[in-house]
Amino acid sequence: MTAKAVRLEGVSVHLGGQLIVDSISFHVPAGGIGCLLGASGCGKTTLLRAIAGFEALSAGKILLDDTEVSVPGQSLAIEKRRVGMVFQDHALFPHLSVAENIAFGIQSVALAARNARVAELASLLEIEDLLNAYPHRLSGGQQQRVAIARALAPRPEVLLLDEPFSSLDVELRETLAREIRQVLKQEGITAILVSHNQFEAFAMADEIGVIKGGRLLQWDNAFNLYHTPSSLAVADFIGEGVLIAGHKVGDHAVETELGIIDTRQIQDFNLPDSEDISLLLRPDDVFHDDASPIKARIVEKAFRGAVFLYTLQLASGTRVLSLAPSHHDHAIGEPMGIRLDVEHLVAFPRLPLV
Amino acid sequence: MSANALVTPRSLRPRLFSIEPWPLSLLALSLVLALPILVIASSVFFPAGDIWEHLLDTVLSRYVRTSFALLLGVSVGVLALGILPAWLVSAYRFPGSKIFEWALLLPLAIPAYIIAYTYTGMLDVAGPLQSGLREAFGWRYGDYWFPEIRSLGGAICLLSLVFYPYVYLLARAAFAEQSGRVLEAARSLGCSQRAAFLRVALPLARPAIVVGLSIALMETLADYGTVQYFGLSTFTTGIYRTWNGLGSSVGAAQLAALLLCFVFLLVSLESWSRRQSQFFNSGGRARASSKQSLRGRGLLLAYLACGIPVTLGFAVPFVQLVLWAIITADSILTAEFLTYLFNSVFLASTTALLALFLALFIAYGRRSYPSPASTLAGRILGLGYALPGTVVAIGVLMPFAWFDNRLSEFMIARFDFNTGLLLSGSAFILIFAYLVRFLPIAMNTVDAGLGKIRPSMDEAGRSMGMRPLALLKRVHLPMLRGSLVTALLLVFVDVLKELPATLLLRPFNFNTLAIRTFELANEERLADAAGPALAIVLASLIPVILLSRSLRQAGATRDSVET
Q: State the CATH number of the domain containing residue B247.
A: 1.10.3720.10
Strand partners, A86: A161
Q: Is the residue at B551 inside a domain?
A: no
Residues of B in contact with A77 (CB under 8 A): 192
Crossing angle of the two packed helices B526-562 and B513-522, in degrees rounded to 10:
130
Distance between CA atoms of residues A256 and A338, nearest Å? 13
Does B308 share its domain with B360? no
Whether residue B487 contacts residue B359, with contact meaning beta carbons closer than 8 Å, is answered with yes
Q: Is the residue at B5 inside a domain?
A: no
Q: Is the residue at B536 inside a domain?
A: no
Instruction: Say yes or no to pLDDT of B29 above 70.
Output: yes
B198 touches chain A (CB under 8 A): no
The pLDDT confidence band at residue B562, using thresholds 50, 70 and 90, is very low
Reduced to 3 states (helix: H, G, I; strand: E, B; else coil), residue A55 is coil
DSSP 8-state symbol, B453: S
- What is the per-residue pLDDT across B489-526, written as a single tens digit (0 to 9) for each? 889 988 998 998 998 888 888 889 998 899 888 888 88
Does B241 share its domain with B121? yes
Q: What is the mean pLDDT of residues A130-137?
A: 90
pLDDT of residue B8: 45
Q: What is the DSSP string of A101-140?
A: HHHGGGTTS-HHHHHHHHHHHHHHTT-GGGTTS-GGGS-H
State the Cα angle at B392 between B388 and B393, rounded to 5°. Answer: 115
Distance between CA atoms of residues A54 and B290, nearest Å? 7
Q: What is the mean pLDDT of residues A332-342?
A: 86
The pLDDT confidence band at residue B57, using thresholds 50, 70 and 90, is low
Q: What's the start-to-end Cα distance of chain A, in Å? A: 51
Q: Is the residue at B518 inside a domain?
A: yes
Among B189, B206, B280, select the one facing A105 at the smallest CB separation. B189
State the best of A49, A92, A93 to mutate against chain B, taking most chain B CBs within 10 Å. Answer: A93
Task: Look at B184 and A91 and tell me if their CB atoms are within 8 Å.
Answer: yes
Does residue B227 or residue B373 have the better pLDDT?
A: B227
Closest CA–CA distance from residue B97 to any residue of chain A (Å): 18
Task: Look at B563 and A16 and tell me if their CB atoms are within 8 Å.
Answer: yes
Q: Lowest mean pLDDT: which of B14-23, B182-191, B229-238, B296-305?
A: B14-23
pLDDT of residue B119: 92
pLDDT of residue A37: 93
DSSP 8-state symbol, B369: S
Range of the domain at B195: 50-316
Please name the residue of chain B whose CA is at the shortest distance from the CA of residue A156: B189
DSSP 8-state symbol, B251: H
Task: Look at B189 and A91 and tell me if their CB atoms are within 8 Å.
Answer: no
Question: If we measure between CA atoms, which residue out of B561, B560, B558 comes closest to residue B176?
Answer: B558
pLDDT of residue B10: 46
Distance between CA atoms of residues B355 and B110, nearest Å? 23
Percent of chain A's residues with pLDDT above 90: 32
Amino acid letter, B522:
N
Strand partners, A300: A311
Whether residue B237 contacts residue B228, with contact meaning beta carbons closer than 8 Å, is answered with yes
Instruction: Say yes or no to pLDDT of A135 above 50.
Output: yes
Q: How many domains, chain B?
A: 2
pLDDT of residue B19: 59
The pLDDT confidence band at residue A203, using thresholds 50, 70 and 90, is confident
Does B349 share its domain with B284? no
B478 touches chain A (CB under 8 A): no
State the Cα angle at A249 between A247 and A254, rounded to 5°. Answer: 55
Q: Whole-number mean pLDDT of chain A?
A: 87
B563 touches chain A (CB under 8 A): yes
Q: What is the mean pLDDT of residues B72-87?
A: 95
Instruction: Say yes or no to pLDDT of B1 above 60.
Output: no
**Domains of chain A: which residue ranges?**
6-234, 240-349
Does B384 share its domain with B299? no
Does B337 share its domain with B405? yes
Q: How many CA atoms lie within 13 A of B296 on its CB side?
A: 1
Count of other CB atoms within 10 angstroms of residue A315? 10
Residues of A in contact with B202 (CB under 8 A): none
State the best of B188, B210, B276 to mutate against chain A, taking most chain A CBs within 10 Å. Answer: B188
Question: If we measure between CA atoms, which residue out of A290, A295, A334 comes closest to residue A316?
Answer: A295
Q: What is the mean pLDDT of residues A60-80?
A: 89
Strand partners, A61: A9
pLDDT of residue B353: 95
Q: Whole-number mean pLDDT of chain B?
A: 83
Task: Look at B190 and A54 and tell me if their CB atoms are within 8 Å.
Answer: no
Distance between CA atoms of residues B420 and B407, nearest Å? 8
Amino acid letter, B264:
F
CA B395: distance to chain centroid? 19
Domain A240-349 CATH (choose: 3.40.50.300, 3.40.1350.10, 2.60.420.10, 2.40.50.140): 2.40.50.140
Please name the residue of chain B whose CA is at the shortest distance from the CA of residue A162: B181
Task: Look at A54 and B282 and tell me if their CB atoms are within 8 Å.
Answer: no
Among B181, B192, B206, select the one facing A91 at the smallest CB separation. B181
Does B311 share its domain with B419? no
Question: If we measure between CA atoms, which residue out of B401, B50, B65, B39 comes closest to residue B238?
Answer: B65
What CATH architecture applies to the domain A6-234? 3-Layer(aba) Sandwich (3.40)
Among A15, A89, A154, select the one facing B283 at the smallest CB separation. A89
- Tell me which of B283, B316, B349 is where a domain ends: B316
Among A79, A89, A136, select the one facing B187 at the smallest CB separation. A79
- What is the per-residue pLDDT across A8-41, written as a single tens digit (0 to 9) for each? 999 999 988 889 999 999 999 999 999 999 988 8
Q: Lowest mean pLDDT: which of A224-238, B47-61, B65-79, B378-392?
A: B47-61
A167 touches chain B (CB under 8 A): no
Whether residue A255 contacts residue A238, with contact meaning beta carbons closer than 8 Å, is answered with no
Does residue A314 or residue B425 have the better pLDDT?
A: A314
Residues of A in contact with B290 (CB under 8 A): 54
Distance between CA atoms of residues A278 and A350, nearest Å? 5
Does B227 share its domain with B350? no
Count of other CB atoms within 10 angstroms of residue A300? 12
Percent of chain A's residues with pLDDT above 70: 98
Sheet with A242-249: strands ordered across: A259-262, A253-256, A242-249, A276-281, A346-349
Rounded to the nearest 5 percent, the helix, strand and coil shares of chain A are: 25, 35, 40
A79 touches chain B (CB under 8 A): yes
Q: Is the residue at B369 inside a domain?
A: yes
Instruction: Select the highest-mean-pLDDT range: B58-62, B92-96, B173-177, B368-372.
Output: B92-96
Does B54 share its domain with B123? yes
A154 touches chain B (CB under 8 A): yes
Does B82 share its domain with B141? yes
Does B308 share its domain with B381? no
- Tell me which of B296, B316, B336 is where a domain ends: B316
Instruction: Say yes or no to pLDDT of A112 above 90.
Output: yes
Residue A134 exposed, middle or buried by CB count within 10 Å (0-12, 13-18, 19+): middle
Q: Torsions phi, psi of A110, nearest 5?
A: -60, 150
Q: Is the residue at B449 inside a domain?
A: yes
Task: Look at A154 and B282 and tell me if their CB atoms are within 8 Å.
Answer: no
